[in-house]
């Protein structure tokens, strides 16, 4: 059974950095694009970034461009989300998801992790 496990969340002050990891198990990792999504309290889930199977196609939400960097290690079957210059509006639960289409549309993803909390506050 495919499983995605997020880690690396925590509490940081505005301007700080965190690196999230998404470890994939039970699937052929290179067959899947990985997306990151987040959900703030009282708000709908929103896309953050995705990376294609090969890593050559990447996209970011406008709100995180220039601050977040997505990457993948196909040997370690892990995707990383480096988050710099964090803002209070980045607070939320961050989820990674695996799908056969590299897209910002959540409904195209087949498998989801349990999420990791990111809190940005002074």
Tens of pLDDT along the chain (122 residues) come to 999 999 999 999 999 999 999 999 999 999 999 999 999 999 999 999 999 999 999 999 999 999 999 999 999 999 999 999 999 999 999 999 999 999 999 999 999 999 999 999 99
Measuring CA to CA, which residue among 43, 41, 4 is closest to residue 22? 4
The position carrying tokens 């990791």 is 116
Alpha carbon distance 56, 9 (integer Å): 26
65 contacts 44 by C-beta, under 8 angstroms: no
3-class secondary-structure state, position 90 = helix
């Amino acid at each position: 059974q495919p499983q995605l496990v997020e880690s690396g969340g925590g509490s940081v002050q505005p301007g700080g950095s965190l690196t999230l990891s998404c470890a994939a198990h039970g699937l052929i990792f290179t067959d899947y694009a990985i997306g990151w999504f987040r959900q703030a309290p009282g708000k709908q889930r929103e896309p953050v970034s995705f990376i294609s199977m090969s890593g050559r196609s990447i996209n970011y939400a406008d709100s995180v461009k220039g601050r977040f960097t997505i990457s993948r290690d196909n040997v370690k079957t892990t995707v990383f989300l480096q988050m710099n210059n964090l803002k209070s509006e980045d607070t939320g639960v961050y989820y990674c998801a695996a799908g056969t289409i590299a897209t910002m549309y959540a409904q195209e993803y087949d498998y989801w992790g349990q999420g990791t909390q990111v809190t940005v506050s002074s």
